[in-house]
Amino acid sequence: MPELEPAGKSFAHIRECSACARLLAQQRALRAGLKSLAKEQAGAEPPARLETALLQEFRRQTHAWRGRPAMPVRETKTAWWLRWPAWASAAAVTAALVLLLAGGRVGNKHAPSGSTAAEAETASYLDSGFVPLPYASVSSLGTEPDLVRLEMPRSALVTLGVPGAADVTGDSVEAEVLLGDGGVPEAVRLVE
C-alpha cells in the first residue's frame, strides 16, 4: 500500500480540514483491514482430497496415454512439446552433437515393415522409457531405428526430462539413443 502519512504543509491541512482528515483515517483503516484479511487467509490451503482427486485423474490419464501409446509426445509439428523453448533445443543440439561425435552403431534391429507396424514399433520404444528429442518426428524413426549406447552429459538428459536422470550421480551417464533416418538422434533413455 502507498504511504499514507502526510508531511509538512499537508499535515497542517489535515489538522484543519475534517473531510480530508476523515478520508485519511478511512484509508488507514482500509489498509489495516486488508492487512488483516491477508493475514487471515495466508494459511488457506486447498483440502487434501483435492490432491488425491488430481492424482487419481493423473493416473487415469497416463493410463489412457499408454492405451494410445506416446500420445502426449508423438504428435508432429503442433505438439506442445515441439514448441519447447530455447533451453530445450539447445540441450537437444548438445545431445545431438554428442551423439554424432560418439558415432558408432550398436545393433541394428529390424522390424516388420508397414506404417502400422512402424507405429507400433515406435510406440513400444516410447513405452520402454525413451524420451523423444524436441525436434523428433515419429515417422523418421521408421521401421529400422538404430540403437546406440554412449556417454552423455547428465545435465542434458535432465533437461530433456529423461526419467531417472535427475537421480543419477556424476556428470556423465550412459544412455541409449534411437537413431532415425539418416542417423539423426530421435529419442534417448537412461541405461539402468
| Interacting residues toward Zn ion by CB under 5 A | 17, 20
| Alpha-carbon gap, residue 89 to 41, rounded angstroms | 41
Residue bearing cell 512439446:
81
**Is the Cβ of residue 143 or residue 155 nearer to other proteins in the bound state?**
155
**Is the Cβ of residue 16 or residue 192 nearer to Zn ion in the bound state?**
16
| Shortest Å, Cβ 152 to other proteins | 17
- Helix 9-16 / helix 18-41 crossing angle, nearest 10 deg: 100
Contact between 88 and 159 under an 8 Å Cβ cutoff? The reply is yes
DSSP secondary structure code for residue 114 in this structure:
S
**Distance set, CA 103 to CA 34, 132, 147 (Å):** 64, 19, 11
Query: Residue from 109, 163, 174, 191 that binds other proteins (CB under 8 A)?
Result: 163
**Is the Cβ of residue 17 or residue 54 nearer to Zn ion in the bound state?**
17
| Alpha-carbon gap, residue 133 to 140, rounded angstroms | 12
* Phi and psi, residue 128, nearest 5°: -95, 30
Contact between 162 and 156 under an 8 Å Cβ cutoff? The reply is no
| Shortest Å, Cβ 28 to Zn ion | 16
**135 contributes a contact to other proteins by CB under 8 A:** no
**108 contributes a contact to other proteins by CB under 8 A:** no
* Phi and psi, residue 146, nearest 5°: -90, 150
Stretch that binds other proteins, among 1-9, 96-104, 137-145, 176-184 (CB under 8 A): 1-9
Instruction: Pick one of Zn ion, other proteins, none as the site partner of residue 29 (Cβ within 5 to 8 A by kind).
Output: other proteins
Binding residues for other proteins, rule: CB under 8 A, are 1-4, 6, 10, 13-14, 17, 19-20, 22-24, 26-30, 32-34, 36-38, 40-41, 44-47, 50-51, 53-55, 57-59, 61-62, 65-66, 71-73, 80-81, 83-86, 131, 158-159, 161, 163, 166
